[in-house]
Structure 1
Amino acid sequence: MNPALEPATRLIVALDFPDADAALRFAGQLDPRQCALKVGFELFVVAGPDLLQRLHDLGFRVFLDLKFHDIPNTVAAACRAAARKGVWLINVHASGGLEMMRVAHEAVRETNDTTALLAVTVLTSSDSETLRETGVSRSPADQVSLLGELAVKQAGLEGLVCSAQEASALRRELGDEALLVTPGIRLEGAGDDDQKRVMTPERAIAAGASAIVVGRPITRAADPAAAMETFVSRLGSAG
């Protein structure tokens, strides 16, 4: 495993559900020894911070995926509040800049030394055309490299949320200690949904990913338990 993570944190299942009851019913079918869980915008807005404690009570580590992006003091306050809830991972948008990331990281470290702060580089739903629409002339790979160095080497964050397609280059640039969490993971022959830069679990780990995020291929599968076991097995075979 590169870098070393507990087996339960190599697979992060995205709880893409419209309410707490549905999310908790689903989480109750999973084994916290096999995966961590991700709570994103929709579910957090509906269920609030109480859901985080309920997931913790079930034994899961939680990635609070709210991608904070605001003025430095506001983001630092939000990260501090999240760290107080005991979540495993929090993230911010690297495009918020060095000062925003630096003060957010200081707030997390002062609050909870078991919470890691990650930066989102370029969303896996974005490609070169998307970046050009927002005035960024660099390729996705070049933009990820620039933001990755800013976040990890300059701001001191523990790692990044990035496409697995950029994981290999980032691993070389950032070293073995950086956490690289990669969404956009699909099995061969599966649809990409709204993702544009995707990869299989084995290739993601081989490329240097620390952990993969999987949502709809598990949560919307005809047999979620079987789909979950497939991803666990594939990660096991990836070494």
Structure 2
Amino acid sequence: MTETTSSAPEVDEEVRRRLALVLDVDDMVAAVRLARELQPWFGVAKVGLELYSAVGPDVVAPLRELGYDVFVDLKMHDIPTTVNRASRVLGALGAAYVTMHAFGGRDMLRAGDQGLRDGAAAAGLPEPTSLAVTILTSDSGAPSHILGQRLTTAMEAGCGGVVCSAADLEEARTFAPAMVRVVPGIRLAGNQTHDQARPATPATAAAEGADLLVIGRTVTGATDRRAAAAAVSAEVASV
């Protein structure tokens, strides 16, 4: 399969910027190869714990050079000073999105958001977006009141966005209408849900108001990745 994109179809740029490609691999070469292959359909590249543990912060620059906004998904949760300093480093590296656990509390989220923005500003980079993770999409047993509490905490802390399931989007709009809404656990109809307890199709998430859809195994694990990516893109474009 070719890594070039010269024969790729034209994809609406607005749709591309709403789709985040999950690079769940443990090797820089494999990550860059996957990013190049699927670049026609994705404008955001998500670096999670696996890739970050293998490569570290050096993974950000090559993805930015390819033209991606880089989403560093470390789900930080520590004392405010530590989260602030770590976020400052990520902001200076050029991360466009960084996640922190909302249950870490308002002071921690505020410190992380400030550090992220300070790091980007010091490097002369565009202002990034801090994302508060509300409830993991693998968690089907969270109490009903938790979501509202965490959304409120994220809003009060000044976070730019939240990560939630598609099922939680209506409540997210109610509590934090101005915040970016990021939805993982996206699956094409008929695909395996794996460890996602609250999945959604691309069309459903987009129709419910997701600003950024996180796309992983439904594309990266497909027999024909390019065809799967095109199917995801087409669903979002049709909404």
Q: Does structure 2 retain, via aligned residues, the 8 Å contact 1:32–1:60?
A: no
In the alignment, is residue 52 of structure 1 matched against residue 60 of structure 2?
yes
| 1:37, distance to aligned residue in structure 2 (A) | 0.8
Name the counterpart of 1:77. 85
- Is 1:189 matched with 2:190? yes
Q: How does 1:62-73 map to 2 (within 5 A)?
A: 62-73=70-81
Count of residues in correspondence between the two structures: 222
Q: Distance in 2 between matches of 1:9 and 1:161?
A: 16
Q: Summarize deviations over 1:97-149 as a string: whole Å, max 9, x none.
A: 11111111122222225211010011000111xx4xxxxxx23xx31121011
Q: Is the 8 A contact 1:32 1:58 kept in 2?
A: no
Post-superposition offset of 1:221 = 0.5
Matched, 1:115 2:128: yes
Q: Could you tell me how far 1:189 is from its partner in structure 2?
A: 1.5
Equivalent residue, structure 1, for 2:169: 167
1:145 aligns with 2:158: no
Q: What TM-score, normalized by structure 2, do the two folds share?
A: 0.89
What SS does the corresponding residue of 1:28 show, helix, strand or coil?
Answer: helix
Kept after mapping to 1: 8 A contact 2:90/2:119? no
1:37 is matched with: 45
RMSD: 1.5
The percent identity for this pair of structures is 39
Structure 2 equivalent of residue 86 of structure 1: 94
Residues 162 and 181 in structure 1, CA contact (< 8 A), matched pair in contact too: yes
- TM-score normalized by the length of structure 1: 0.89
Determine the C-alpha separation between the residues in 1 that align with 2:133 and 2:84: 16
Moved more, 19-28 or 82-91: 19-28
Further displaced range: 60-69 or 16-25: 16-25
| Cα shift at 1:33 | 6.6
> 2:43·2:67 contact (CA, 8 Å) conserved in 1?
no
Cα distance in 1 between the residues matched to 2:202 and 2:41: 18
Shift of residue 215 of structure 1?
0.4
List per-residue Cα deviations over 1:72-112 (Å, max 9, x = no partner). Answer: 10011111010011111001000101111111112222222
Q: Name 1:211's counterpart in structure 2.
A: 212
Q: Where does residue 3 of structure 2 map in the other structure?
A: none
The answer to whether the 8 Å contact 1:108/1:117 transfers is: yes
| Runs of 5+ unmatched residues, structure 2 | 1-12, 121-125
